[in-house]
Amino acid sequence: MRKRSIGINVRVTVTEKKKVTMLARKCGLSLSEYLRQRALGYEPGGHPPTEVFDVLDKLDEIAESCSMRDGAAISAHTDRLRDLLIGGN
């Protein structure tokens, strides 16, 4: 059974709906979840494009071909970048 059973209706223009829908999609959220988070004071973050992660994966491949010391340093940097991009610690 769904916990959320009460709806809130809000009238918007076509342009406003397109903009809010695009913002929700950028955050990887449904329109309802995006609006719920915004209404409750949260500011959902967007996801970086997949190309960013492709570059980080390529850096990991390069790190594997380096010396143990240099490879470990490169891997540590790419791990930190991933954490920053996806909201890790």
Encode pLDDT of 7-21 as tens digits. Answer: 999 999 999 999 999
Q: Do 60 and 80 fall within a single domain?
A: yes
Q: Domain span at residue 73?
A: 50-86
- Give the model confidence (pLDDT) of 27-44 as tens digits: 888 999 899 999 999 888
pLDDT at 20: 92
Alpha helices in the chain (DSSP H): 14-26, 31-39, 50-65, 68-86
Q: Do 38 and 1 fall within a single domain?
A: yes
pLDDT at 32: 92
The tokens of 46 are what? 């967007």
Whether the pLDDT of residue 89 is over 60: the answer is no
Q: Do 32 and 68 fall within a single domain?
A: no
Higher pLDDT, 54 or 36: 36
Q: Do 2 and 37 fall within a single domain?
A: yes
Q: Do 33 and 69 fall within a single domain?
A: no
Q: Do 55 and 38 fall within a single domain?
A: no
Please tell me the distance from the alpha carbon of residue 5 to that of residue 45, in angstroms, as a whole number. Answer: 26
Q: Do 9 and 35 fall within a single domain?
A: yes
- 87 pLDDT band, cuts 50/70/90, is low
Number of domains in the chain: 2
Please give the model's pTM, rounded to 2 decimal places.
0.52
Q: Do 2 and 41 fall within a single domain?
A: yes
